[in-house]
Structure 1
Amino acid sequence: MGPILFATLFAGLTLSSHLRRAYGNSSPPPPLRFTSNGTFQISVFEDLHFGENAWDTWGPQQDINTVKVMNQVLDAETQQLVVLNGDLITGENAYLENATVKIDQIVAPLLARGLTWASTYGNHDSQYNLSRHAILAREHRWPRHARTQQMVHGPDAGVSNYYLPVYPSTGNTDEPCLLLWFFDSRGGFHFQQRNASSGAHIGQPDWVDQSVVDWFEATNARLTAQYNRSSIPSLAFVHIPTNASQAAQMSPAGIDPRRQPGINDDAPNLAQQAQGWCEDGSNGPECVYGGQDAPFMRALASTKGLMAVFSGHDRGNTWCYKWDGVLLGMEVEGNGVNLCFGQHSGYGGYGNWGEGV
């Protein structure tokens, strides 16, 4: 098993109006809180890829094996939150009538232990027969446990863009000490949409949209001003990594196992946001990388207090890189934020690396 990623900070923030709107008349989950010894532990599951080839014996067996991994981790650790960081379902294999039923299998180990979770959605969670909105609705069947929300609306925003506050174990709950940011990097295909002439499925851009970047910057500024803080400690989760991760991998020093321990097998070219797109917004075989994730990278690099960004997607990478300065081929300057990959957790998807968190 890979290491469980956790933060040790001290906490607090009141429940946002977004949370009340997200859950309607249902009771939202109780506030996230640090433990009495000042720790807050997060188990991050990446690339679960449930639902592959349900019509064959090996597909359902993969899901059974993945549940075993989840059970082992959840029993071994004392997490206060579980993050499902994208590609929950292999949507290419989904049936339209019951595409989201795999969510029930994913969250069953969490519900059995009374745990709470928060999701981002990945490129395989948006397919012709699988909708991000449907996954969100399915998660909200358990309103006392699911914290996934949609705080940015619009046709191009994606779905899983939101933040969560964490409260102290006791004392003042009116001022934030930790924020958890979740971003939808989109990708995959638009739900039930085909090209009118060719009949082909219509691809969805695979980067964090500008509307989400604007929301992130404005919301973070509002929170720091509201609480008279120069910065608020925070962590971020997004399924597809930014180009900064690839630039780190391609830099002259590269990923050194002595300084950035972990697997680096998706090399030399990991799959970053805006991969396969041209600068003009078209996508085709001649397009390599369009640079549309630059606004998101600038927002991350300029956010004081942001300690780390956790991604999945590239299942053969598990390293962390301290992004400090300007990387090869880039103009955006890092501020020391750690760019981290989580261990892939599911038996589905490509590769034969060990499953973990």
Structure 2
Amino acid sequence: GSSVSMVVPLLRANVDGKFKILQISDTHMSSEPRLCNDAIDADGHVRAPFEADPQTQAFISEVLDVEKPDLVVLTGDQLHHDILDSERVLRKVLDPIIEKGVKWAAVFGNHDDEGGFSVVGEAQMEIMEGLPGSLCASGPGSVEGVGNYYVQVCGQAGDERVATLFLLDSHGQVKSGVKEPDWDYIRPSQIYWFRRTSQELRQTRRPGSKHQSLVFFHIPIPEFADDDRLTIASGHRGEPTEGPSFNSHFYDALAEEGVVAVGCGHDHVNDFCALRKARVEGGDGASKAQRPWLCHCGGSGFGGYGSHGGRYYHRRMRVWELDTETAGLMTWKRVEYVDGPVDEIVLMKGGIIGSF
């Protein structure tokens, strides 16, 4: 049947046409009290050990109060590995969001069902689907992974869809013999599902409508890695990209479908937004920046690592603000100890991708 026939929750832009998403990633909650990992104070000094999860919950609550998002997207590693009681620990992550009545959607990371005791993805997804405010869905059975789904945003009036958010399962760690650790890739069945759904949804919109697509998953695709075609326009690379050695070319599908931006997690101390230059055949060899933006959230949880190569980083979250009236998209981060937005950047204005 049609991939767009599943029941899809609808969100609505605000009266001013804005729609705000808070991306939270890598909260690494545990069932046992766990001490913080690599935490530093406002001046960058290592903090005395404290219990990680309550601090992560407080950080989530604080950012929710400041930003008042319309939707929270959790991009994986909500749980640390070897979690005995996934439901209780998931509630620790989600309670601050549920308490404030904010709608939310989540994808899995590599840690969420890792280890001998953990509840497998299907069961975890079932738990999440049943919680207040949840827009989570396990997605079509014919598509590999758990939690390949989409949600749509309507304009502030009427039922025209002005944005589609795709969420995908990027799986986990694999033994490849190529590198250690290595990571699984977005599978062909997922790419096919994404392309088909994106195209079917496009056919339901009137031509020339101001619509934007964003895509969220946990493990960055290989194009996030440094090369001569990647230009970081905002934020920083604090560590090399930990992505799959095998490139399944999901990026090409994202570019061809005109996706505006991708939001990933996984690399806790990467929080950049970057564009890749497209190779232009012939001509003077000039290359132009092409969609999508490749953005990292940065690590939000005190239970996960927060340093690389001896450098320590504060916990952070990424905010995405869509302007559905003008086809605009801005993003910035919320960082511990900092008042106000960090690394604010316009990703798209009037339907045109920023050129940097």
Name the aligned partner's letter for residue 64 of structure 1: P
Alignment deviations for residues 161-217 of structure 1 (CA, whole Å, 9 cap, x no partner): 1111101222x21x322111111100148xxxxxxxxxxxxx996211111111111
Q: 1:152, CA displacement in angstroms?
A: 2.6
> How is 1:106-121 mapped onto 2 (pairs within 5 angstroms)?
106-121=93-108
Match of 2:277 in 1: 324
Matched, 1:309 2:294: no
Task: Say if 1:124 and 1:35 are closer, same or farther in 2 by CA, change over 3 A.
Answer: same
The structure 1 residue matched to 2:30, chosen from 28, 51, 66, is 51
Contact map agreement 1:326 1:334 (CA 8 A) in 2: no
Match of 1:11 in 2: none
Match of 1:290 in 2: 246
Match of 1:192 in 2: none
Match of 2:346 in 1: none
Name the aligned partner's letter for residue 48 of structure 1: T
> How is 1:189-228 mapped onto 2 (pairs within 5 angstroms)?
206-228=184-206
Match of 1:37 in 2: 16
The structure 2 residue matched to 1:184, chosen from 152, 169, 179, is 169
Q: 1:19, CA displacement in angstroms?
A: 2.8
How many residue pairs end up in the alignment?
A: 282
Contact map agreement 1:324 1:337 (CA 8 A) in 2: no
Task: Say if 1:122 and 1:326 are closer, same or farther in 2 by CA, change over 3 A.
Answer: farther
Which of the pair is proportionally richer in helix?
1
Contact map agreement 1:86 1:125 (CA 8 A) in 2: yes
Contact map agreement 1:127 1:188 (CA 8 A) in 2: no
Matched, 1:270 2:270: no
- Secondary structure class of the residue paired with 1:117: strand
The structure 1 residue matched to 2:136, chosen from 145, 148, 169, is 148
For residues 315 and 56 of structure 2, the distance between their equivalents in structure 1, rounded to whole angstroms, comes to: 8
Contact map agreement 2:107 2:147 (CA 8 A) in 1: yes
Task: Say if 1:185 and 1:335 are closer, same or farther in 2 by CA, change over 3 A.
Answer: same
- Secondary structure class of the residue paired with 2:106: strand
For residues 183 and 123 of structure 1, the distance between their equivalents in structure 2, rounded to whole angstroms, comes to: 13
% same residue: 26
Matched, 1:300 2:257: no
TM-score (norm 2): 0.72
TM-score (norm 1): 0.72
Name the aligned partner's letter for residue 320 of structure 1: C
For residues 272 and 101 of structure 2, the distance between their equivalents in structure 1, rounded to whole angstroms, comes to: 31
Matched, 1:354 2:314: yes
Q: Aligned Cα RMSD in Å? A: 2.7
Contact map agreement 1:126 1:186 (CA 8 A) in 2: no
Matched, 1:78 2:38: no
For residues 300 and 24 of structure 2, the distance between their equivalents in structure 1, rounded to whole angstroms, comes to: 6
Match of 1:125 in 2: 112
Task: Say if 1:56 and 1:238 are closer, same or farther in 2 by CA, change over 3 A.
Answer: closer
Matched, 1:335 2:313: no
Task: Say if 1:244 and 1:334 are closer, same or farther in 2 by CA, change over 3 A.
Answer: farther
Q: Which aligned runs of 4 or more in structure 1 are off by greater than 6 angstroms?
A: none
- Secondary structure class of the residue paired with 2:55: helix
Q: 1:101, CA displacement in angstroms?
A: 1.8
Task: Say if 1:334 and 1:136 are closer, same or farther in 2 by CA, change over 3 A.
Answer: farther
For residues 180 and 56 of structure 1, the distance between their equivalents in structure 2, rounded to whole angstroms, comes to: 33
Contact map agreement 2:77 2:112 (CA 8 A) in 1: yes
Q: 1:223, CA displacement in angstroms?
A: 1.2
Contact map agreement 2:36 2:302 (CA 8 A) in 1: no
For residues 208 and 184 of structure 2, the distance between their equivalents in structure 1, rounded to whole angstroms, comes to: 32
Structure 1, unpaired ranges of 5+? 1-15, 21-28, 190-202, 275-288, 328-332
Q: Which moved more, 1:121-130 or 1:310-319?
A: 121-130
- Secondary structure class of the residue paired with 2:68: coil
Match of 2:334 in 1: none
Matched, 1:166 2:153: yes
Match of 1:250 in 2: 227
For residues 63 and 178 of structure 1, the distance between their equivalents in structure 2, rounded to whole angstroms, comes to: 33
- Secondary structure class of the residue paired with 1:70: helix
- Secondary structure class of the residue paired with 1:239: coil
